[in-house]
Chain A
Amino acid sequence: DAGVIQSPRHEVTEMGQEVTLRCKPISGHDYLFWYRQTMMRGLELLIYFNNNVPIDDSGMPEDRFSAKMPNASFSTLKIQPSEPRDSAVYFCASSLDGRGRNKPQHFGDGTRLSIL
């Protein structure tokens, strides 16, 4: 049973470059979440989707950040242009909207992003 798959696991790039993070949710899950984790700010929800539609993007820090979910099995988080303060671990998670709406979220192992 494959879990949430994120790629790449590590990304090092220079400021100003475009960065694209990828996520494949668990098959059949209808919610997808993007989080960012840093020592200073902890775990932050950036955006989440339901059935491929963005529901809440209030956590997206700036217009430099964008996220898409073109189909049920793929999502991207893009940063353009990237800045050193974007360095963090980015997690994708997915969940299933069960009858009680209390199904847990399943996390990928993250992308460690370093902007030089």
Chain B
Amino acid sequence: AQSVAQPEDQVNVAEGNPLTVKCTYSVSGNPYLFWYVQYPNRGLQFLLKYITGDNLVKGSYGFEAEFNKSQTSFHLKKPSALVSDSALYFCAVRGARGFQKLVFGTGTRLLVSP
């Protein structure tokens, strides 16, 4: 079955420093991977996706993600964190049954301190 794992419940980083939020995946077939962000009292917002092609995917708000097939990872990165980036981040993978079904990770809370 398709699955993703987010090993960190929380990531703390100082404003201006680079950030990384980790995600590993397990799939049968080609991986279709996504990152979403959730701000307090809001729904999830799409950040970026990997389908095929370049291993470095650029998305919204200056975020990017690096796909690594050998390590089955899809880590979210940003060169310089902002306090406003503090939120809950979810990694997701397309489910095996039906292309539209997403399987989400447990989420990682990012806290950026001033």
Residues of A within 8 A of B (CB): 4, 31, 42-43, 45, 48, 50, 55-56, 91, 93, 95, 97, 100-102, 104-110
Given A4-B43, A42-B106, A107-B44, is A95 in contact with B100 using a C-beta cutoff of 8 Å?
yes
User: 6 A-B contacts, Cβ less than 8 Å apart?
Assistant: A43-B107, A56-B98, A104-B34, A104-B49, A105-B46, A109-B43
Bound Cα distance from A106 to B32, whole angstroms: 17
Contact yes or no, B100 A101, CB < 8 A: yes
Bound Cα distance from A56 to B95, whole angstroms: 12
Contact-residue bracket for chain B: 20 to 34
B107 in complex: contacting residue of A4, A42, A93, CB < 8 Å = A42
A59 nearest CB neighbor, chain B only: B101
Contact yes or no, A91 B32, CB < 8 A: no
| CB neighbours of B36 from chain A (8 A) | 107
